[in-house]
A and B are shown apart, each in its own frame.
Chain A
Amino acid sequence: MWSTFLMFAWKNMTRRIKTTGPLFLCVLVSVFAIVLVWSSYDMAKGGVELSRTRMSADVMVYPYETELDDASMLYSGIAQSVYMDADIIGRLSNGYAERVVSQFYLQTLPTAGCCTVMEEMRLVGVDWEEDLTVRSYLKGADIDTLDMQEVILGGNIDIETENTMILNMPVRVAGVLETTGTYLDDSIVLSMEQLRQLAKVNFPASYFGGRAPMDLVTCALVELKEGVDPQEYIRSVEDVQARKVLISSTADTVQDEIMVLFRLLAGTAAVILLLCVAALFSQMQALIHSRYREIGYLRSIGVCRRDVYKMFVLEIGIIVLAAGVLASAAGLTAARSVIEWIRQYMSLPLGGWSGGAILVHFGGGLLLTVSVSAVSAAVPLCRAVRMPPQEAMTRGEL
């Protein structure tokens, strides 16, 4: 019996494109708009929140010469061979600071291509025991110490875990970081001391302006004592010649910018959704109304009410689900492009696109599809099927 219904549904769907097509389009457009805005918003917001909660540092300090704005330095900072003296750390550690930790970045240049890692890649040297940023993103169990020849891989790094050489040194992969949407994803983390040594051996001294890598850091992260006003701390280290950035306010600024953008997007999506749902309701009404005669005829040849429902639910279901699946998938794909596009204009940490998140957004899109369609179809379909066959046949239009 189901094959008969399926055949009937399929033929109606394909041979009545004038009524089924607009229905398909309505679902497609509305679900696409919603999934697009919803998932790109979640992606952007997730990224900011992730980095905010994980980052226990309050102030970031880096050289004036760095040609990046604060948010870029914080989230997408491209490695720059701009360093400051390590003795800055001592001057940053005053009564307000709980602790000050430094990081040392190094780019593996293709010219220094002496490693199995061929692409240009950022190496991040951290003081593992004191670390405030990287360690919190570690996947799996925490690692107490990072030995000299051990490395931690960023979420996007895909190299063999065995027999890997970095700057001529064989290394062992000790752990992997979660995807953060920040520079960390494309970084290899190792101990700062080890990295400075590698820098000394593999890079010409001119690269560091004649200074010894051992005496240099790329940036410093300061964690303040409980209750200390960050502004006050910044005033207290005024004489330190480096740029000081409040991490929380940078994150706030980014989040505010995202919010404004997404309110705009959400508003547009809401208007689209409203128009489409209204159109969907009238399309559904039209589709079913145009079939009154047919429903009456079907009943006259022996199809019971329940089977008429089945036939129509199959038909509408196929149309709507096909549109919903397509729209959800397209919405998710487009969301990535939206985020990429936004990232061209502002620094944005991108939350990892986990399988779970994809499933939630995809499933949400489908749920929206099914529920809106079910609501719009229920009333006209019930009315049509409950109608006495004679009335349905004399009322409907061909």
Chain B
Amino acid sequence: MELIRLEGVSKTYADEAGPVLKNTDLVVEGGGYLSVEGVSGSGKSTLLYILGGLLTPTTGRVLYKGKDVYSLKDRELSLWRGRHVGYLFQDIQMAQALTVRENMVLARRFGNDKGADIEGLIQSLGLEEVADKLPGHLSGGQKRRAMTGCVLVRRPQIMLADEPTNDLDREWACRVMDLLQEQIHPERSLILVTHDPRWAASASVKYSISDGVLIHKE
């Protein structure tokens, strides 16, 4: 079943000379596991932002189950993001005045599963000690895991993971990747942006971006 599709999407930032993403087509099936590789600045994060309904493409359409996402009204688009898109940002993003647990409660409020088990997530991400701390008081790896918890708690259909193993030691990188891959399900898919060929290889469909052009590998 097709979840999301890009049709002729390109993106040129206001202050950039040329397009960052060029005439891109992509189909993500339910249960799909995609990886995107590419050198720094090649447009990987831009691609994820567009897929996540967070950045309007300059041309082209983003279709979720056939509906043009960017033609939705703000309310519907927001609802869609909350229910269906889980974005693990490359930079840490969380509400800074809320503790880790409060951040998860806030995220769950807008997600797909209002009864999601926060305590279980805190445990499986090893956040018991820091759950009541503010994000600003966490180590880099703890922040990364806390942000992962805030995304998983919403049980999104489309997981957009932008370098999710950054800041993590080997062991935690494996545990977090396992958690992400466990989410894959006939209705849910994972799109992984990574520099690490090991994780890229674990995906069932592999892409690379070069000069704004998305290339299907193999």
Which A residues contact B (CB, under 8 angstroms)? Answer: 1, 4, 7-8, 11-12, 15-16, 293-294, 296-307, 388-391, 393, 398
Is B138 among interface residues, defined by CB-CB distance under 8 A? no
Q: Which of the residues B55, B96, B107 comes within 8 Å of A301, measured between beta carbons? A: B107
- Are A4 and B106 in contact (CB-based, < 8 A)? yes
Q: Which of the residues B93, B98, B106 comes within 8 Å of A393, measured between beta carbons? A: B93
What is the bound-complex CA distance between A61 and B96, given in angstroms? 75
- Are A301 and B110 in contact (CB-based, < 8 A)? yes
Besides A8-B95, A8-B98, A299-B54, 4 other A-B contacts (C-beta < 8 A): A297-B93, A299-B78, A301-B111, A302-B154
- Are A301 and B79 in contact (CB-based, < 8 A)? no
What is the bound-complex CA distance between A7 and B134, given in angstroms? 15
What is the bound-complex CA distance between A398 and B91, given in angstroms? 11
Instruction: Pick 30 A–B contacts, CB within 8 A, sort by A.
Output: A4-B106, A8-B97, A8-B106, A11-B98, A16-B97, A296-B93, A297-B95, A299-B81, A300-B52, A300-B87, A300-B89, A301-B106, A301-B110, A301-B154, A302-B81, A302-B82, A302-B83, A302-B110, A303-B78, A303-B82, A303-B110, A304-B74, A304-B78, A305-B78, A306-B74, A390-B54, A390-B55, A391-B55, A393-B89, A393-B91
Residues of A within 8 A of B74 (CB): 304-306
Is B193 among interface residues, defined by CB-CB distance under 8 A? no
Is B56 among interface residues, defined by CB-CB distance under 8 A? yes
- Are A300 and B81 in contact (CB-based, < 8 A)? yes
Is B102 among interface residues, defined by CB-CB distance under 8 A? yes
Nearest CB on B from A314, distance (A)? 13
What is the bound-complex CA distance between A1 and B49, given in angstroms? 27
Nearest CB on A from B60, distance (A)? 16
Nearest CB on B from A62, distance (A)? 69
- Are B81 and A4 in contact (CB-based, < 8 A)? no
Residues of B within 8 A of A12 (CB): 97
Nearest CB on A from B130, distance (A)? 16
Nearest CB on B from A262, distance (A)? 44
What is the bound-complex CA distance between A389 and B87, given in angstroms? 12
Residues of B within 8 A of A11 (CB): 97-98, 102
Closest chain A residue to B110, Cβ basis: A302
Within 8 A of A (CB), among B22-61: 49, 52, 54-56
Is B121 among interface residues, defined by CB-CB distance under 8 A? no
- Are A293 and B111 in contact (CB-based, < 8 A)? no
Closest chain B residue to A15, Cβ basis: B97
